[in-house]
A and B are shown apart, each in its own frame.
Chain A
Amino acid sequence: MTALTLENITKSFGKTEVLKDISLDVEPGEFVVFVGPSGCGKSTLLRVIAGLEDASAGSIRIMGRDVTRVPPAKRGLAMVFQSYALYPHLDVAGNMSLGLKQAGEPADLIAERLAEAARMLALEPYLHRRPSELSGGQRQRVAIGRAVVRQPDLFLFDEPLSNLDAALRMATRVEIARLHRELGTAIIYVTHDQTEAMTLADRIVVLRDGRIEQVGRPMDLYNDPDNRFVAGFLGAPAMNFLPDPARPGLSLGIRPEYLRVAETGPITGEVAHVERLGSDTNLLVGAGEQMITLRLFGQHDFRLGAAITLDYDPARALHFDAEGHRIRP
């Protein structure tokens, strides 16, 4: 039995097709991240799974049960929103217990689940505060707590970290990973941030224009992408694409960390910009019309405008045809 099965999901708004024939299986306990540029349909897909939008065609099963026509509250899932979406008129305890109250659960069970979730998320001191009296990070923990108390078969996270600052984002990311290990429930997580995707996911689903481009484990997608889009989308700084010197019309993809400064090499250019991050140095090299990004570990000094020659290991280069499909050796 799978935690979630999508079969040929299609969604149109009027004449625009937002999701095109999407099929996917999520195993129980799996952490799946939907990632893609904005407008790729990842949030719509999540809303279709949640039942907040009806699919135009196709079916959805959660833990083996067909929920295509079931209202959101009865699908056995819980959702965490980007804007927290806490009920402003209820305190933290009220926010977290509302779903169980609506489902008609007995009071002692609600109290027990509430206490457990509050302990797990360190929310005990705030239980009787209103959302307006909490910081952004605390609000997001309450939103996660509201999902946890329902003990769903499936968690949905809709860009939960986008409204947090960088330091808090990292801390909350670690907390979500820990929560996932503790609960062992399948999670579907939507983000446009590839760091979140790479660090959290058991499997990543890359979406573009309402289609699944590729599904796989983070390192498989990183090392062995199916096409130029996936190759360029994952990894920061992004992969460099160069015309293939051996085969005209085709292109080569080389990740910035696989390029090196050398005495001789196939690429020559001049230093256009240097980003010093302390642990790494990113170098932008202008080679003809093209900008090539190079990532060096440690700290380096370069003079702007200096001539530079770059080399790479041909085995590390990926080959793409004119349509952007990967040509595997």
Chain B
Amino acid sequence: MNRARQSPLNTLAAHAALITWTAVALFPVTVIVVNSLKTRKAIFREPLALPSPESFSLIGYRTVMKQGDFLQYFQNSMIVTVASLALILLFGAMAAFALSEYRFRGNTLMGLYLALGIMIPIRIGTVAILELMVQTGLVNTLAALILVYTAQGLPLAVFILSEFMRQVSDDLKNAGRIDGLSEYTIFFKLVLPLVRPAMATVAVFNMIPIWNDLWFPLILAPGEATKTLTLGSQVFIGQFVTDWNAVLSALSLAILPVLALYVIFSRQLIRGITSGAVK
């Protein structure tokens, strides 16, 4: 954009920094994927080598497919992540709309109260949450996980989305009111499409911790039928022996859905992140 202001040296430095960061970020992922395609011996002999015809093996993937109900775990993870995201986005956006659009007593306090959740990690309440789930009979259900993740994601969602909703033109909402649109129509038809980049940002920021979480599945839903992918992969990690082929294969497979979701959201995400900086 500002080609005139950029010296070649600056461009070089910027690219060097970006390439270094990309390499650092991609390194562990590459190691996992590469080693998942090798025999056990080859993994330990030369962890950084690419699979050669001798060392190539799909044994890990075969183990994963045979062992346990991997597809079931996959499905559980997917259900929990997608349902939590949907609820976070829906309720987060609605709360953000109320906070940014309506003047009422205690508006600021309510906003602060909701933002408090960003600072206090939800895991502090694990024992209380477990007791609650036991009493409500939700232990070993996916609903338990979905509820907890929704609670975990809402504070940041409300915080980010209310900032963005404040930027939506008042005139547009008022034009809708004069044309007789209900507040719900104004919210869903006029405001939501305009904050789509912010919604994508919130979705990605929430998606990855939920997908990767081990803590709550282990505590709230360790049953065979409700195991998530991360928890399911733990069967390959034993106290004495770890089936590295299987662990690495399971992790490689677990990356794929997140990658797919990220690709879906990424264009919107980049627009959301940069919308404050570039005008």
Contact = CB atoms under 8 A, between A and B. Distances in A.
Interface of A: 47, 50-52, 71-74, 77-79, 81-89, 98-99, 102-103, 146, 158
A87 B174 contact: no
A82 B169 CA distance: 11
Given A81-B171, A82-B171, A88 B193 contact: yes
Contacts of B179: 73, 98-99, 102, 146
Given A50-B174, A89-B193, 19 more contacts: A51-B177, A52-B174, A52-B178, A72-B174, A72-B177, A73-B177, A73-B179, A78-B178, A79-B174, A79-B178, A85-B171, A85-B175, A87-B172, A87-B190, A88-B193, A88-B194, A102-B181, A146-B175, A146-B179
The 5 A-B residue pairs with the shortest CB-CB distance in the complex, in nearest-first order: A73-B180, A102-B180, A99-B179, A85-B171, A81-B171
A50 B169 CA distance: 17
Contacts of A74: 180
- Size class of the B contact interface (CB-based, 8 Å): 10 to 19
SS class, residues of chain B in contact with chain A: helix
Contact of B178 (A77, A88, A89): A77
A50 B180 CA distance: 12
25 contacts: A47-B174, A50-B178, A52-B178, A73-B179, A74-B180, A77-B178, A78-B178, A79-B174, A81-B175, A83-B169, A83-B171, A85-B169, A85-B171, A85-B172, A87-B172, A87-B175, A87-B176, A87-B190, A98-B179, A99-B180, A102-B179, A102-B180, A102-B181, A146-B175, A158-B171
A84 B169 CA distance: 10
Contacts of A79: 174-175, 178
Interface of B: 169, 171-172, 174-181, 189-190, 193-194
B268 to A, nearest CB: 16
Contacts of B169: 83, 85
Contacts of A83: 169, 171-172
Nearest to B169: A83
Contacts of A82: 171
A309 B190 CA distance: 62
B66 to A, nearest CB: 50
Contacts of A85: 169, 171-172, 174-175
B104 to A, nearest CB: 12
A146 B175 CA distance: 10
Contacts of A102: 179-181
Contacts of A78: 178
Interface hub of B174, B176, B179 (most chain A Cβ within 10 A): B179
Interface hub of A47, A52, A78 (most chain B Cβ within 10 A): A52
